[in-house]
Amino acid sequence: MSARFQGSFVAMVTPFRSGTVDEAKLRELVEFHVAHGTDGLIPCGTTGESPTLSHDEHKRVVEVVLEAARGRIQVVAGTGSNSTAEAVDLTQHAERAGAAGALVVNPYYNKPTQDGLYRHFRAVAESVAIPILVYNIQSRTAVNVETPTLERLARDVKNVAGVKEASGSLDQMSQVIAACGPDFSVLSGDDNVTLPLMAIGGHGVISVIANLLPRETAELVHAALDGDWKRARELHYRLFPMARAAFLETNPIPIKEAMAMAGMLEPEFRLPMCRMSEANRERLRAVLKTYGLVK
């Protein structure tokens, strides 16, 4: 048996127009990724500004992406919350809608203990039959899913299938791979460490920059999966400037601004997310020029 999730997944932005979700643009983005080799889509992750979506909007975004995908590409719905009951509701909806799995972020602000984290993820996973990916990102949630907790989940809960690792620590990622085994999907949550993670046994990425550069991101991941490390390194260094630029300000501000500069969507956010500063916008534009995305 191999890992259930591997390849290049994109943490999709949510396009807005005049304050509402732009469903037509969302469908266009799905077609863009199908055409450019992305392996899977993640609607309503935190890159999709999910904390600012109403529950009805959240569910509708997942439904629209699944309708547009028409089974041509995997869809793993973001369904996390700092409320376990809310995460269960969103995850059950994703299962009913036909998602291939769910990405569940650490409960934020609550700052649960490791036992609380275990109980939270177990409750969500046991409420559905679809596989669950834990999204471990201490920098935005105040808690780290420690390796023994993740190992316990992988052992005790059959549909906890992997983790989106955004701890920033290759040491921790190595511990997870060693503890949870080769069938447990370990996906990078940071574009700049996709290649290093795959070199130690990771399975791919849930990418921010693939919103803009999907083909190159997918090529990097598949070169690494195929053991073509020379090509993977070339692509890593080609993508590295964009990976850094994507965090000039808080994600998803830079990637949406970049997509707007490239004519892909409107540069619209929901507060407390807001437009990028002019100085950083010029820095971002300079990076995009190196990729031929703006003049």
Rounded Cα gap, residues 74 and 286, in angstroms: 33
Instruction: Specify whether 164 is catalytic.
Output: yes
- Considering the candidates 59, 108, 109, 135, report the single residue annotated as catalytic: 135
- Considering the candidates 108, 164, 289, 291, report the single residue annotated as catalytic: 164
Q: How far is CA 161 from CA 124, 151, 154, 155, 184, in A?
A: 13, 11, 7, 10, 6
Q: How many CB atoms lie within 10 A of CB 111?
A: 12
Spell out the residues 6+ positions from residue 119 whose beta carbon is closer than 8 angstroms to its own: 84
Instruction: Characterize the bridge pairing of strands 20-21 and 16-17.
Output: antiparallel
* 291 in Cβ contact with 213 (< 8 Å): yes
Cβ-based burial of 85 (10 A; exposed 0-12, middle 13-18, buried ≥19): exposed
**Cross-strand pairs, 102:** 77, 132
First to last CA, the chain: 47
* 257 in Cβ contact with 238 (< 8 Å): no
Residues annotated as catalytic (active site), given as ranges: 135, 164
